[in-house]
Amino acid sequence: MEADSSPFFSPETGFDRLHGGIPHTVLVTESPDRYLAQARLLSNDGARLLTLWSDSLPAIRAAILLREGLVLLSLSLPKDAASFPSLSSVFPTAVRFERTIHDLFGLIPDGLTDLRPWIDHGLWSHPPLSPSPFPPKRLAQEEDYPFVRVRGEGVHEIPVGPVHAGIIEPGHFRFSVVGEKVLRLETRMGYTHKGIARLFRGRSLPEAARLASRISGDSAVASSLAFSKAIEEALDIEISEGVRFVRALLLERERVANHLADLGALGNDAGLAVALSLYHPLREAMHRINLSLFGHRLLFDSVVPGGVSTGLSEAMIETLLRENERLQAEVTLLERIYADHGGLQDRFQNTGILSPETAGRLGIGGVAGRASGQGWDLRIDHREDPVHRFAPALALDHVGDVASRVRIRFFEIFESLRLTHALLTSFPGPDICATIPDPPAPREGTGLVEGFRGEVLGWVRILPGKILGEAHIADGSSLLWHALEASVPGNLVADFPLINKSFNPSYSASDL
C-alpha cells in the first residue's frame, strides 16, 4: 500500500477539543512518513515539542504546542515493531526522549545517530517496559557512559555527581574545562528513575492521583492538576466554577512559594547568604498556612480528579488575603534590596546566557523561556477560566542571563499575588466536586497546565472500573537540561551552581 505522506492538520483547520479552555487536537496515524511530515509542518509553524513518549500499545506520542493550541501527534506501531522514525531532525530536543523510549521499550529510533543509553544505566537485562516476551535485540552497550570528549591542549574533565555537595537531587554533570572556563557541559541523568510509567498501570484512580502528586514534589499542584484535567477530559466531567477558582488559587500559591525559594537560593549561591534568611521564612509561613487551610504543607493531594480536597470558607479567604498583603509588602522590599545590591547584580548579569535564538530552537518555555524572549504562557495565551477574567500579564525579558530569570521571577510573584487577590475577592462560592463516572470502554484524555517552571502535560488512558491503563506526566525539566548545557559554556565552573539554580530543573520529573 502506498503510504500517504501528506500532513493532515494545520492550525487553520481548527482544534476539535476544548477542555479546560486550551484548544487541542489528537492526530493518529499509522504512517511514519505522515508522522514526520506533520511534525515538520508544525515545527515550521513555530511549534514547540513539549514531550515525547511511548505507551505500550505501542504508540509513539509527541505533545507539540502551537500558539493556537496543543497537538497530540500519535504514531500507532504494529505489535511487533522494532523501530520508529526519529523526530530529532525536526525537534532537536527529541533526542533524549527517543533514547528513553529505546531504553525502556527496546524500540530503535530510525535516523537517530546518538543511541547511547539515557535512562538505562546498564542494570537491566532487557528493556523493562517491552511488551513482547522476546524483547527486540538491544544495541551493544559500553561499560562506561561515553561522554563526548573535547580534545585540545590543556583541556581536562571535571566529573560532578550523582551525589552533590548540598541538599539537591542526584544527577551527573561532566565539564570539559580549560583553566576555570567551561568549554562544554554534558548532563547524564536517570539516577532518580522510579519507573513511574509502569507504576501508573492498573492503579485505582485515587492511588494514581497520589502518585501524580509526587512526580515532582515542588510541582505537586501543577502535576495533579494536569493529571486531573486529563481524567476529566477523558470522562467528560464538568468542573464547577468554585473548584476552578480554588485550583487556580492553589496553582498560584505553588508558583509564589517556589519562586520565593529560588530567589533566596539564587542570592545565597551568588554570595549573599542572608538571602536565605530573608526569603525562606516567607515560604515557611506559606507552608504553615497551606497546612492549616489545605491539609498539606506542600499542597500534595490538594487537587483530585473531579475537584479539590478542601473548599474555601470565608475565614480562609480572610487569612489568605492577610497573607497576600504581607507578601506584597515583603517582596517589594526584597526586590529593591536585590536591585540595589551591586555585588549581587554583578554575579547575576551576563552569567549563564541562554540566547533567545537558542531558546527558540530548543523550544524552551516557562520562566527560562520567558527570560530569553519566548513569550509563551498558557494562562495568557488561552482563555482559561477563571484566570483570564483578570487579564494576567506576560513576564518577558530578552537578555537570557541569570539576572533575567531573577527579574522574571519577581514579576511573576507580583502578578501571582495580584491574581490571587482577585481570585479571593471574587470567589463565587460553593465548590462542589464532581462524581467520577465509570467508563464503559477505554478513554483517553489530555490536560495542560502552566506550572511554576513551565507547561506541565498530563495524559491518561482510563479503563472500565476506573482503573488507570496508562499515564504520562511531563513538566519542562527534560528540556531545561538542554538549556543548561547551552548556557554554561564560556562561564566559570564556580558559576555553575548559580546557573543551574536559575533554571531549576526537576531531576525527578525528567527521570520519571
Partner 1 sequence: MWKLLWKILKTGTLTESPVRTQEETGRGPFRHSASIRHVDAGSCNGCELELWALENPVTSLSSRGFSFVASPRHADILLVTGPVSCHMKEALETTHQAMPAPKRVLAVGDCAISGGVFRGSYATHDGLSSILPPDVSVPGCPPPPEAIAEGVLRAFGSPPPPS
State which of residues 274, 329, 391, 494 lies at the interface with partner 1 (CB under 8 A). Answer: 274
Distance CA 287, CA 237 (A): 31
Binding partner at 287 among partner 1, ligand SF4, none, C-beta below 5 to 8 Å by kind = partner 1
* β-sheet bridge partners, residue 60: 54, 75
Q: What one-letter code names the amino acid at 424? A: L
Q: Which does 40 bind (CB under 5 to 8 A by kind): partner 1, ligand SF4, none?
A: none
CB burial class (10 A; 0-12, 13-18, 19+) of residue 342? Answer: exposed
40 makes contact with partner 1 (CB under 8 A): no
**Nearer to partner 1 among residue 209 and residue 424 (C-beta):** 209
Residue 430-459 contact track with partner 1, rule CB under 8 A, x = bound: ------------------------------
- Distance (Å, whole) CA 228 – CA 458: 8
Binding string, residues 202-221; x marks residues near ligand SF4 by CB under 6 A: ------------x--x----
Radius of gyration of the chain (CA): 23
Residue 357's nearest CA partner among 346, 373, 343 is: 373
For residue 147, state whether it binds partner 1 (rule: CB under 8 A).
no
Q: CB 141: neighbour CB atoms within 10 A?
A: 16
State the nearest-atom distance from the C-beta of 129 to partner 1, in Å. Answer: 9
184 binds ligand SF4 (CB under 6 A): no
398 binds partner 1 (CB under 8 A): no
Q: Are 205 and 439 in contact (CB under 8 A)?
A: no
d(CA 9, CA 361): 22
CB of 456 closer than 8 Å to CB of 226: yes
The item of ligand SF4, partner 1, none sharing an interface with residue 297, based on CB under 5 to 8 Å by kind, is partner 1
Looking at residues 320 to 379 of the shown chain, list those that interact with partner 1 (rule: CB under 8 A): 333-334, 336-337, 340-341
Q: Is 179 helix (H, G, I), strand (E, B) or coil?
A: coil
Residue 438 and residue 464: Cα distance in Å, rounded? 6
Quick one: which H or E segment has residue 294? helix 274-294
Q: How far is the CB of 327 from partner 1 (least distance, A)?
A: 15
What DSSP letter does each residue of 344-401 carry, written as one string?
A: HHHHHTTSS---HHHHHHHT--HHHHHHTT----HHHHS--TTGGGG-PPPP--SS-S
Beta carbons of 95 and 136 less than 8 angstroms apart: no
Which residue's C-alpha cell is 507580583? Answer: 414
**Least distance in Å: CB of 212 to partner 1?**
10
Interface with partner 1 (CB under 8 A), residue from 154, 166, 179, 465: 166
From partner 1, ligand SF4, none, interface partner of 278 (C-beta below 5 to 8 A by class): partner 1
Give the number of residues in contact with partner 1, rule: CB under 8 A: 52
170 is an interface residue for ligand SF4 by CB under 6 A: no
- Minimum distance, C-beta of residue 168 to partner 1, in the bound complex (Å): 7
**Of these, 169, 401, 455, 475, which contacts partner 1 (CB under 8 A)?**
169
- Picked from partner 1, ligand SF4, none, the partner binding residue 126 (CB below 5 to 8 A depending on kind) is none
Q: How far is residue 204's CA from residue 198's CA, in Å, rounded to a whole number?
A: 13
Q: Which residues of 289-303 are buried (b: 16+ CB within 10 A; e: fewer)?
A: bbeebbebebbbbbb
Residue 296 contacts ligand SF4 per CB under 6 A: no
165 counts as binding partner 1 under rule CB under 8 A: yes
Does 304 sit near partner 1 (CB under 8 A)? no
Residue 111 touches ligand SF4, criterion: CB under 6 A: no
DSSP string, 77-88: --TT--EEE--T
Least distance in angstroms from the C-beta of 216 to ligand SF4: 9
| Interacting partner of 506 out of ligand SF4, partner 1, none (Cβ under 5 to 8 A depending on kind) | partner 1
Q: Residues 106, 83: contact at Cβ < 8 Å?
A: no
State the residues that interact with ligand SF4 by CB under 6 A.
Answer: 214, 217
Residues engaged in binding partner 1 (CB under 8 A): 121, 123, 128, 162-163, 165-170, 190-196, 198-199, 207, 210-211, 214-218, 220, 261, 274, 276-278, 280-281, 283-284, 287, 291, 297-298, 300, 333-334, 336-337, 340-341, 506-508
